[in-house]
Structure 1
């Protein structure tokens, strides 16, 4: 339930959340790169976490990214 964990954190920081279904992505490279890592979280285009989300770590990294 990564989406359920991430949604309130994104709202807390006022950041946009983009959800991409890797199996239906228009770019086939997305499935190749991330298909085995779902759920995967990218922060500023870089892989932040996969297979799960540590809410405290995500909050800290978002706070640092928004400074």
Structure 2
């Protein structure tokens, strides 16, 4: 019997290569999601023009369940709290 597909990651990190704030955000997101058994996906504003148009001045941006959660800095406690609630 085939296994169920992996659920969509609840966290999306939007950034770009070479961004030190993005590197900092990635470390926090990776630690918190690993701790809670969640996963995350990264998307680059350089590869997706619609993301560049929307978030260029705010990267890194984190989305939780498809909604903007934070930008520039990721607070681990705030992210942990958001992920402790059921998805919207």
Work out which of the residue numbers 31, 40, 44 in structure 1 matches 2:65.
44
> Going by fraction, where is strand more abundant, 1 or 2?
2
With a CA cutoff of 8 Å and minimum separation of 6, indicate the structure with the bigger relative contact order.
2
Q: Report what 2:19 is aligned to.
A: none
Deviating beyond 3 angstroms after TM superposition, the runs of 4 or more aligned structure 1 residues are none
- The yes-or-no answer on 1:62 pairing with 2:83 is yes
CA RMSD of aligned residues (A): 1.2
Unpaired runs of 5+ in structure 1?
A: none
Superposed, 1:1-67 pairs within 5 Å as 1-25=24-48, 28-65=49-86
Q: What TM-score, normalized to structure 1? A: 0.86
Unpaired runs of 5+ in structure 2?
A: 1-23
Q: What TM-score, normalized to structure 2? A: 0.67
> Going by fraction, where is helix more abundant, 1 or 2?
1
The count of aligned residue pairs is 64
